[in-house]
Structure formats: structure tokens, C-alpha cells
Amino acid sequence: MYWDKKMETLKTADLKEIQLKRLKKTLKQVQNVGFYQKKLADAGINPSSIKTLDDITKIPFTKKQDLRDGYPFGFFAVPMKQIVRIHTTSGTTGKPTVVGYTRNDLDAWSDLIARNMTMVGITADDIFQNMVNYGMFTGGLGFHYGAEKIGMTVIPSATGNTKRQLEMMHDFGVTTIHCTPSYAMHLSEVAEENHVSLGSLKTGLFGAEPWSESTRKMLENRLGITAYDSYGLSELFGPGVAFECQERDGLHIWHDCYLVEIIDPQTGEHVADGEHGELVVTPLVKEAMPLLRYRTGDVTMLMEDGCLCRRGKKIARITGRSDDMLVIRGINVFPSQIEHVLLKIPEVGNQFMVYIDKINHLDEMTVEVEINREYFSGELADLANLQRKVVKELRDALELRTTVKLVEPGSLPRFEGKAKRVIDRREKE
């Protein structure tokens, strides 16, 4: 099934023509952004420099840090009057990255979600429970409007209260769910413990964090569903950038909307199809916040073989990151954010260690931090207050609950050269 058969199955020559036309339009659109005016002028590029798609390699990359430096609205290419929504995503320190949408952007985005859901066989007859954060995170509203566009019955249940979620799934005859794969695992366990039967369920859409084939098998068995991998990032609208079709062998990325390059993260050079590298995307239909050669940090490859469904070239499931970003319960965390928080609390030292574990299928982050010798009063209550303070400050900055361990001064490892402060003990399947 296709949502937009023409665009989803374009012949290569037609696709390239559309891509080039849209790339040129995007180059015009970025001229409204000070950062790009300067960047392109410095690189000696004007709109006429880009005559073919291959010319894109002349354009410098855009990095997440650039977006952060533009906080809050530095990358908006349209007047605020035309911005109809804002989402945010975690930045590397302190301030989040802000993304904005025009009405056309929201329409294009929900259209992509509709393509993805239709691709896996979901229709207006389906009842959809959307179990992700509905706030600043793009996953909630993104899927919500895409599903409504198809005409599904949407249950905006958001996160939390697993028993209530299961009750709704059962009582409302839910056929399709969207959540993080780790939450789905948790859900399946609570369902088993409470003997909740989920006979109506057919399809699970899982994204926002990497998950393995063995997790897929387990989820499918336990929930009685077919599970599909969903990929996206806020800078490229949100979820919906790429999605598995019913073959479930790689993700179709929407080439008419996203110009894809895979590079060697060290050299910035293109790698061949079938070789892993960092995904670099130039969105082709974004109005409010056009980007050029955006480095996603995600490691994947372009797959060589075509697909039975006749849609375009697929990317492999994301295998990791080319930077130090962590994904904890679907939330992006940079170690530098943790450092930033600790620097603001004089009662603790600046050394820290982060441990990530999977406990009952959910990511748990533990931060060890040294207490500052000068602030030790000898009172247990003061230490307990300090511990609570660090937990709260981390929660405010990361939007994530962490466990904080206070340790003795001087007890954490000191690093010469590149610090290895993060120990990820989650099982690599």
C-alpha cells in the first residue's frame, strides 16, 4: 500500500530532477539565515555554483553545535509570524536546540508519517495508541498528526501509568502502538504479570533509540505484533525520516524530501554504498528551518540492493553514533551536559563517571560524583540534601531521572588525554 505512490516509487532520473530542483530552492531559502549567508560566502558558493547534485560536496557541513550556537531562533528562515510550532531537542550543553515549523512544514511532516504508516499496512480502520512524550519531544505530536491524517482512531495516551496504558489497549481494541522499544518490553512484562490479553494488537512502531533483531523477536512474540523500526530526528522534522517497509530489511528514507550522503566521519569524504559511515542529510522541503548537509551523527550505510516494494534506496538500521551522544530511554544525552550541570554545583567536584545499565528493559543512568572536601559539614542530612540537589539539577537539564552516587574526594579516575567517563553496560545484542 502506498500513501503517495508517485513520489514513493519515482524512477531514478525523475527523482534526481526533483532533488536538484528542491536543492536549488533550499539554497535560496537558506539565504534568509545569517549563519548560511556567511558560511556560503566564506566557501565562495552562490546559488549558481550548484548545477548538479554532485556539486553538493562543495557546501560545508552543518553540525549540531552550529544549531546550538544559533539558540534560540538563529536558524529560522521565515518571520516568526509564519512559524506555527516549536519543538526542542537536547543540545550538547545547557541550552536545547530549537526547531521550528511553518504550516507547510507540519503538512509535509505529517504526510511523511502517513507514508510510513501506510507502507506497513496501517489504515483508517486501525486504532492507534501513541505512547510517547507529547511535549517538546517530536515523537508525540509528529505521529499524532500523521495518524490523524490517515484517519486512524488516535489515542494520545502519552507516557506513564503502564497499567492504565494496558487497560486502554485492551478495552479500546487497540491495533497499533508507537513507543520506544524499551518501553514496549516493559509493557509486555507488565501485561504478562497482570494477565492482560492484547488480542487486538497487530502492529508496533518503535523508534527514538537503537534496538536489536533479538529485541524485535522478543517483542513480536510477547505482544503478538509485527514490529517496525522508525527513524528520525527533530532537526529533520522529527520521526518519519526513514521507516521499515513490510520486508523489514533496512529503512526507506524519503529521497524526494531528504538528500542522503554517507561520509567517513573523520575525512568527510563519501563512502561507497554498502559501507558504513555517518548519515548526512540535506532536507529538501523544509521552509522554517532549512539545513545544508546536516551531520546526524548516526552511523548507517546505503544498501546496495533494491527492495521488493519498489520504493527507493534503503539505509541500514542505525548501528551507533559517530560522536559521544548517548540515548537514554529515547532521550539524547551528551556527557558534556552532565559536566555543565556539575560545574554549577560547588558542593561537588568536577570529576564524574556515568554508568548506563538496562534494568527490567529500561535504561538507567547512574552518575558518580565526588563531594567537595570544603563543603563537608559532617552531617548526613546535608549530604542527603546535596544528593537530592544533584538529582534535581540533572533532571532539569536532561529531562531524565538519574541515580546520583556521592563518592569520596579523589576516588574517581583522572584522565590524561581523552576522558572515558561513560561506561555503557547495556548488553550489546
Partner 1 sequence: MDTHNYIIRQISIFSENRPGRLAAIAHALGEEKINILAFSIAEANGFGVVRALVDNPEKAHNKLQALGFNIAFTDVIAVKMKDQPGGLYEVAKILGDAGINIEYSYAYSGKDGAVLILRVDQVEDAIRKIRASGATLLERSVFH
Question: Quick one: 1 or 384, whose CB is closer to partner 1?
Answer: 384
Question: Quick one: 270 or 389, whose CB is closer to partner 1?
Answer: 389
Exactly one of 18, 407, 419, 422 binds partner 1 (CB under 8 A); that residue is 407
Closest CA to 142 of 169, 107, 180, 174: 107
The window from 154-162, 170-178, 284-292, 405-413 that contacts partner 1 (CB under 8 A) reads 405-413
The window from 95-103, 213-221, 239-247, 371-379 that contacts partner 1 (CB under 8 A) reads 371-379
Question: Quick one: 74 or 409, whose CB is closer to partner 1?
Answer: 409
The window from 77-85, 104-112, 233-241, 409-417 that contacts partner 1 (CB under 8 A) reads 409-417
**Least gap, CB of 217 to partner 1 (angstroms):** 36
- If one counts every other C-beta atom within 10 angstroms of the C-beta of residue 219, the result is 21
89, 97 contact by CB (below 8 A): yes
387 scored as a contact of partner 1 (CB under 8 A): yes
Question: Quick one: 359 or 380, whose CB is closer to partner 1?
Answer: 380
355 scored as a contact of partner 1 (CB under 8 A): no
> Which H or E run includes 163?
helix 162-171
**Least gap, CB of 223 to partner 1 (angstroms):** 35
**Least gap, CB of 404 to partner 1 (angstroms):** 8
**Least gap, CB of 97 to partner 1 (angstroms):** 33
Question: Quick one: 199 or 378, whose CB is closer to partner 1?
Answer: 378
Question: Quick one: 93 or 403, whose CB is closer to partner 1?
Answer: 403
CA trace torsion 345, 350, 351, 353 (10° rounding): 40
Question: Quick one: 331 or 386, whose CB is closer to partner 1?
Answer: 386
**Least gap, CB of 388 to partner 1 (angstroms):** 9
**Least gap, CB of 369 to partner 1 (angstroms):** 11
> Look-up: residue for cell 542529510?
281
Closest CA to 351 of 375, 364, 367: 367
Question: Quick one: 197 or 411, whose CB is closer to partner 1?
Answer: 411
**Strand order in 294-300's β-sheet?**
258-263, 277-283, 294-300, 320-321
384 scored as a contact of partner 1 (CB under 8 A): yes
Closest CA to 170 of 149, 151, 195, 204: 195
**Least gap, CB of 398 to partner 1 (angstroms):** 19
345 scored as a contact of partner 1 (CB under 8 A): no
Measured over the CA atoms of residue 72, residue 75, residue 81 and residue 85, the dihedral's sign is: negative
| Interface size with partner 1, residues (CB under 8 A) | 18
**Least gap, CB of 386 to partner 1 (angstroms):** 10
DSSP 307-334: -TT----EEPPP-EESSS-EEETTEEE-
Q: Which amino acid is at 95?
A: K
410 scored as a contact of partner 1 (CB under 8 A): yes
409 scored as a contact of partner 1 (CB under 8 A): yes
Exactly one of 41, 214, 377, 396 binds partner 1 (CB under 8 A); that residue is 377
* Phi, psi angle pair for 187, to nearest 5°: -55, -45
129, 169 contact by CB (below 8 A): yes
Exactly one of 411, 420, 423, 425 binds partner 1 (CB under 8 A); that residue is 411
**Least gap, CB of 405 to partner 1 (angstroms):** 5
Residues 162-166: contacts with CB within 8 Å, 24+ apart? 162/186, 162/187, 162/190, 163/190, 163/194, 165/129, 165/131, 166/190, 166/191, 166/194, 166/196, 166/198
Residues 143-147: contacts with CB within 8 Å, 24+ apart? 143/113, 143/178, 143/205, 143/239, 145/106, 145/109, 145/110, 145/113, 146/109, 146/110, 146/111, 146/112, 146/113, 146/114, 146/116, 146/117, 146/240, 147/113, 147/114, 147/117, 147/122
Exactly one of 271, 303, 383, 419 binds partner 1 (CB under 8 A); that residue is 383
Residues near partner 1, by CB under 8 A: 371, 373, 376-381, 383-384, 387, 405-411
